[in-house]
Chains A and B, each alone.
Chain A
Amino acid sequence: MSVTTFAAIDVGSYEVEMVIYEISTRGIKQIDHVRHIIALGRDTYNMKAISYDLVDELCEVLYDFVSVMKTYQVSQYRAIATSAVREAVNSVNIIDRIKMRTGLKVEILSNSEQRLIMYEAVAAKKEGFGKLIEKGVAMADVGSGSSQVSLFDNGSLITTQNVQLGALRVNEIVDSFAKGASSSLAIMEEYMDTEIDVLKNLFIKERKIECLIAVGDNINWFINRIGAEKSKEYYNRDEFLDVYHKLYLMGDFRERYGLSVEQAAVIIPSMMIYKKILDVTGAQTMWIPGVRLCDGMAAEYALKEKKIEVFEHDFTADIVAAARNISKRYSWNKEHVKFVEKNAMAIFDATKKLHGLGKREKLLLQIACILHDCGQYISMLKPAECSYNLVMSTEIIGLSHLEREMVANIVKYTTIDWEAGVGLKEAFNDETILTVSKLTAITKVSNALDRGHKQKFKDTKYVVKERELQIITNTYEDITLEKGSVSNRRTLFEEVYGCKPVIIQKRK
């Protein structure tokens, strides 16, 4: 049996950790786990940059990790950094120094990528995760810098929101004006309440949430050490609150549990965030699966490289579902959106040989179609700009920042002229610009086909013949408007694909 040894490294806000996994057809097995407390986040959140000494310490720890990897003869690894490094102004230098000193290539994850990995970790943990989210379920991933709250229902993700409530961040902020105050915990609660209220009013609303899935490093520690027995994963509301109050009233928990100052500082704020979310969702049970980012990386790796079925859940569908939910909020013409999406998919498939793009690009195209006219919600004068901004400021779980920006640009140029990449050159490299242009060419045509918003094109077939993309449709309706529209919008398509979209109307 082939066994791959995989290492996952997570450079977090107050600790770095590495988990070594064995991945085989039997599944994913954790074989070692090392952690080192290092408060990178404190530097970032206070001073915007990570200081020399901490970077030095980080490199040393990572260097040790490399030797542990060697011991286990690790063949593949993935190393990621989250908000502390991401938000540090010297992030590029940090990554470079790590590379030079340890040989490790650390990638900085966007928030949405990071959250997706966590979400994959949860999904990989439990068979029947799909069943659990048939009902209303919230997932709270409390980190050091921020927290992510996601809502599931009917088997898929409905919405997800990043709130700027992170254990370390809250602690640092409250500390900065109420250090040592006897009421500092009360102030902390008050500080959180304002953010939590927004969450309640805008995202949770009247939704019925039965279970809260709680993930994050601190809750894993908390449950193992202060809670009942090690393997207990399900807590009902009262049980959790009991343990929470035990901690809240325990003045000496740092000494009692031998915690470092860094770790002790984040325990109470993070538990408070979970408690607030539990309160605001009204969930009666809590599932604490005890997973970490590294587990998600291993699951992703197993799926991608080894083709091992680690999930029974479809994440692409989640990304699409999340996009649809955003679209639902802003788009007024559902039928039009559906049409554009459907036809764009068909054009994509028909032109495969011409563009050579893969599954992931198709997903981006789909999301762009779903969101392509959301800007009209803000302004009818400048819908393209508004769409762009809307997409850019919306969390689409599972998309990297780069991908999100690609989608935003596709959306933008769907309705305005493609200005030969002016403004794109700064953000993207040539290859990415090419991809965006290929996808935009498709959305432009697809959108033009429904210029009248009446979905006149039924049973449309797309065939590439010689230098033409033949759009063969059965319709008796007058498609003059659409024909004209396509011929106006086809320049980009011709430039990119070297073939001309031609509408052939068959009246049967």
Chain B
Amino acid sequence: MADVNEYGSEFFFNRELSWIEFNARVLSEARDKTNPLFERLKFLSITASNFDEFFMIRVASLKDMVNAGYEKKDIAGMKPQKQLDEILEKTHEFINVQYSTYNRSLLPLLKSNGLTVLGSFDDMSDEQKSFCDRYFMDEVYPVLTPMAVDSSRPFPLIRNKSLNIAALLKKKNKDEELEFATVQVPQGLPRFVEIPAKDGMRFVILLETIIENYMDRLFLNYDIVTYAPYRITRNADLDIDEDDAADLLKEIEKQIKKRQWGQAIRLEIQDKMDKRLLKILKKELAIEEAAIYEINGPLDLTFLMKMYGLKGFDNLKEKPYTPQPVPGIDPEESIFDEIRRGDILMHHPYQTFNPVVDFVRQAANDPKVLAIKQTLYRVSGNSPIIASLAKAAENGKQVSVLVELKARFDEENNIIWARKLEQAGCHVIYGLVGLKTHCKITLVVRREDDGIRRYVHLGTGNYNDSTAKLYTDLGMFTCSEAIGEDATAVFNMLSGYSEPLGWNKLALAPIWLRNKFLYLINREKEYALEGRDAYIIAKMNSLCDKKIIEALYDASAAGVKIRLIVRGICCLVPGIKDVSENIEVRSIVGTFLEHSRIFAFGNNGQEEIYMGSCDWMPRNLDRRVEILFPVENKELKAKVRHVLDVQLSDNVKSRFLKNDGTYEKHARGSQPKVISQKVFCEEAIAAAKVERAGSNPRVFIPMEHN
């Protein structure tokens, strides 16, 4: 292993604060006037759902640490309490910006573009009112469950992330004390309703606004003193002791149920909530002052994602992009024949994910196929891949599927698929004890005339045909023997057999991968010290592994030119004199979620390019099964390098990390605009066109009648 210097805490950013920085970048996309209006809604919605998860996991786990008296500092030298304090402070600031964006920019702009979001019934026409009336009575009222609290009825359990309305009631005609009541805004109904248009203007109203208007119909014998919406976020960090869990599947099911009722760690209320109401909520939910967020606007902005889906307003949305066919893959042909012709690279979502789905589908029906093995981390609802795997098992193929039950928030989903596959006769492996299986690999074993041949798909993203339309990922098909052998070994390992004696091409976490990266970084350092050109270009989602960062510092100090494209968290501090002057960190936030992981090393003129499922995070390198694979085919290598080059030349969506932890865009000057995601879209369209033109379209020649 390479020797790496140790660096003090001043050389690292705290990961939580860096994560908030990332959301600030998303938020600034929501504020960016050059983005179409409805795209801005989407970005704002993303920041809201991101924060929900952040609270449920990260803040919750910091809270757990504080409660447990755990005092260990993080790499940036901050104790858990200090991190919490700073996070809460930053979050309050962040929310202010979120809502001022919503109230001051987006709402007025929507209005001027013909869409009003009604905050009350005040300015409604009679037609609109009677529509709401009907809607409430027919759709909403039947599913509402108002709950009063008194000595005989305890405070109900409020579901995680549910939106509720709290009210204070008084029995009619009596002078008794006030009663507390709460009603959940039904999650089964759309969060907002479009009501009849008026004077060419379209109107939507939020569900809670409607319910609030009819509060008196819920509590017939009461006067309503005050009411206000509120929302809580609970600790949802799954903490499963696997040594005790004899049956992981059952344990996870149990935990999912429990998650609804974890400790409340955030309370969002609409500002101007009655003091008496707030006091009751505070006491019953046992929540501290700093965790209460008074919000000037609707709670839970994630509804904006749905609003994006409103019909019409096409001029205010990015033109929808259709993933293009992959040159070299004809959907009519056998995918195996095409892979045999040479390795194939796919860049999603610019290029379609269909070949991957087809790969499994064709394998399921191909009489020559003996076995299909696949890792599934997050699958889509109604996944065609699952259906194909089940079909394959029914067709008598040996199907082994590793379903990672521990994929956060997807556990419930995964259990359903796992059961379905088992019923179909697949061999389902439920992850490894203590390790999450994060690698994305599919192996098809085919018996051909000249013996066994293995086809492998390796990717940077999940086997999820839905997210493949939103996440940028790279995938590769190959039937290289060396990789086929390794893939077989990966699945043998995942099925519980001993690790192989060695690997041909792949590097795997948790055992081998960290050393591989350290070796590669160190090799660049050695070249730099010999006075040769040395560089590293790496693209990933997060960078927070101490050892790797230290190795990068050492390399930078030795003169290695390091350019990092890190979408989210980055704990590395660039631009420190004599330490990280040669390191440049940029983040690209665009319409698609940047998700691919690519690593390029100069290697003294013999550039090596790797791709994989892992970020440079301790959890990826130490606690997950990850795969890093080399791209060796010359043509493919050039394509992957091109992806990096285009991203590096993006001068619109790139923001650069400064050594104070904030990000800023660089002035473009007179250079032409380069938006990398747009470039990839255009290139994919052009490539598909060339492919179409190149092929011989079928033409029927009509017979001439003489």
> A and B: real partners?
yes
Q: Are A230 and B498 in contact (CB under 8 A)?
A: no
Q: Is A316 close to B, CB under 8 A?
A: no
Q: Are A71 and B497 in contact (CB under 8 A)?
A: no
Task: Digitize B392-422: 1 where CB-to-A-CB distance is under 8 Å, 0 elsewhere.
Answer: 0000001000000000000000000000000
Q: Is B499 close to A, CB under 8 A?
A: yes
Task: Digitize B449-483: 1 where CB-to-A-CB distance is under 8 Å, 0 elsewhere.
Answer: 11110000000000000000000000000000000
Q: Is B503 close to A, CB under 8 A?
A: yes
Q: Are B450 and A3 in contact (CB under 8 A)?
A: yes
Q: Is A195 close to B, CB under 8 A?
A: no
**Chain B residues, CB < 8 A from A220:** 501
The complex places the Cα of A22 from the Cα of B504 at a distance, in Å, of 19
Q: Is A225 close to B, CB under 8 A?
A: yes
Closest B residue to A15 using CB positions: B498
**Chain B residues, CB < 8 A from A225:** 501-502
For window 105-139 of chain B, which residues contact chain A by CB distance below 8 Å? none
Q: Are B398 and A71 in contact (CB under 8 A)?
A: yes
For window 482-520 of chain B, which residues contact chain A by CB distance below 8 Å? 485, 488-489, 492, 496-504, 510-511
**Chain A residues, CB < 8 A from B232:** none
Q: Are B370 and A71 in contact (CB under 8 A)?
A: yes
Minimum Cβ distance to chain B for residue A26 (Å): 8
Q: Is A70 close to B, CB under 8 A?
A: yes
Q: Is A154 close to B, CB under 8 A?
A: no
The complex places the Cα of A3 from the Cα of B449 at a distance, in Å, of 8
Q: Are A258 and B499 in contact (CB under 8 A)?
A: yes
Contacts A230-B502, A257-B511 given: A22-B451 contact, CB under 8 Å?
A: yes
Q: Is A474 close to B, CB under 8 A?
A: no
**Chain A residues, CB < 8 A from B496:** 36
**What is the predominant secondary structure among interface residues of chain A facing chain B?**
mixed
Q: Are A258 and B511 in contact (CB under 8 A)?
A: yes
Across the interface, A3 reaches (CB within 8 A) one of B451, B488, B503, B510, namely B451
**Chain A residues, CB < 8 A from B566:** none
Contacts A1-B449, A3-B450, A31-B452 given: A37-B501 contact, CB under 8 Å?
A: no
Q: Is B447 close to A, CB under 8 A?
A: yes
Q: Is A33 close to B, CB under 8 A?
A: yes
Q: Are B451 and A224 in contact (CB under 8 A)?
A: no
**Chain B residues, CB < 8 A from A36:** 496-498
Q: Is B371 close to A, CB under 8 A?
A: yes
Across the interface, A22 reaches (CB within 8 A) one of B452, B485, B492, namely B452
**Chain A residues, CB < 8 A from B485:** 31
Q: Are B451 and A35 in contact (CB under 8 A)?
A: no
**Chain A residues, CB < 8 A from B489:** 33
Q: Is B335 close to A, CB under 8 A?
A: no
Minimum Cβ distance to chain A for residue B485 (Å): 8
Instruction: Number of A interface residues at 8 Å Cβ cutoff, please give it.
Output: 29
Across the interface, B502 reaches (CB within 8 A) one of A1, A24, A34, A224, namely A224
Q: Is A221 close to B, CB under 8 A?
A: yes
The complex places the Cα of A34 from the Cα of B485 at a distance, in Å, of 12
**Chain B residues, CB < 8 A from A24:** 450-451
Q: Is B644 close to A, CB under 8 A?
A: no
For window 263-308 of chain B, which residues contact chain A by CB distance below 8 Å? none
Q: Is A32 close to B, CB under 8 A?
A: yes
Minimum Cβ distance to chain A for residue B401 (Å): 14
Closest A residue to B370 using CB positions: A71
Q: Are A73 and B497 in contact (CB under 8 A)?
A: no
Q: Are A32 and B511 in contact (CB under 8 A)?
A: no
Q: Is B445 close to A, CB under 8 A?
A: yes
The complex places the Cα of A263 from the Cα of B498 at a distance, in Å, of 10
Task: Digitize B337-348: 1 where CB-to-A-CB distance is under 8 Å, 0 elsewhere.
Answer: 000000000000
Contacts A67-B398, A73-B370, A258-B511 given: A35-B452 contact, CB under 8 Å?
A: no
The complex places the Cα of A3 from the Cα of B447 at a distance, in Å, of 10
Closest A residue to B489 using CB positions: A33
Minimum Cβ distance to chain B for residue A78 (Å): 19
Closest A residue to B499 using CB positions: A258
**Chain B residues, CB < 8 A from A73:** 370, 447
Closest A residue to B453 using CB positions: A31
The complex places the Cα of A71 from the Cα of B393 at a distance, in Å, of 12
Closest B residue to A220 using CB positions: B501
**Chain A residues, CB < 8 A from B449:** 1
Task: Digitize B648-679: 1 where CB-to-A-CB distance is under 8 Å, 0 elsewhere.
Answer: 00000000000000000000000000000000
For window 166-221 of chain B, which residues contact chain A by CB distance below 8 Å? none
The complex places the Cα of A5 from the Cα of B449 at a distance, in Å, of 12
Q: Is A428 close to B, CB under 8 A?
A: no
Across the interface, B492 reaches (CB within 8 A) one of A15, A34, A67, namely A34
The complex places the Cα of A230 from the Cα of B502 at a distance, in Å, of 6
Q: Is A29 close to B, CB under 8 A?
A: yes
Closest B residue to A229 using CB positions: B502
Q: Is A72 close to B, CB under 8 A?
A: yes
**Chain B residues, CB < 8 A from A33:** 489, 492, 500
The complex places the Cα of A252 from the Cα of B449 at a distance, in Å, of 48
For window 307-326 of chain A, which residues contact chain B by CB distance below 8 Å? none
The complex places the Cα of A72 from the Cα of B398 at a distance, in Å, of 9
**Chain A residues, CB < 8 A from B510:** 258
For window 215-238 of chain B, which residues contact chain A by CB distance below 8 Å? none
Q: Are A72 and B501 in contact (CB under 8 A)?
A: no
Q: Are B492 and A1 in contact (CB under 8 A)?
A: no
Q: Are B492 and A230 in contact (CB under 8 A)?
A: no
For window 559-601 of chain B, which residues contact chain A by CB distance below 8 Å? none
The complex places the Cα of A230 from the Cα of B504 at a distance, in Å, of 8
The complex places the Cα of A34 from the Cα of B449 at a distance, in Å, of 24
**Chain A residues, CB < 8 A from B398:** 67, 70-71
The complex places the Cα of A372 from the Cα of B511 at a distance, in Å, of 58
Q: Which of A3, A32, A37 has the most CB of B within 10 A?
A: A32
**Chain B residues, CB < 8 A from A32:** 488, 492
Minimum Cβ distance to chain B for residue A63 (Å): 13
Minimum Cβ distance to chain B for residue A145 (Å): 20
The complex places the Cα of A220 from the Cα of B511 at a distance, in Å, of 18
Contacts A1-B450, A29-B451 given: A72-B370 contact, CB under 8 Å?
A: yes
A-B residue pairs in contact (CB < 8 Å), sample of 11 = A5-B452, A24-B450, A31-B488, A34-B492, A35-B497, A71-B371, A71-B398, A72-B452, A73-B447, A221-B501, A263-B498
Given pairs A31-B451, A258-B511, 13 additional interface contacts (CB within 8 A):
A5-B452, A29-B451, A31-B452, A31-B485, A33-B492, A35-B497, A71-B398, A72-B452, A73-B370, A230-B503, A257-B511, A258-B499, A290-B501
The 7 A-B residue pairs with the shortest CB-CB distance in the complex, in nearest-first order: A224-B502, A35-B498, A71-B398, A230-B502, A34-B497, A224-B501, A22-B451
What is A's interface to B at a CB cutoff of 8 Å?
1, 3, 5, 15, 22, 24, 29, 31-37, 67, 70-73, 220-221, 224-225, 230, 257-258, 260, 263, 290
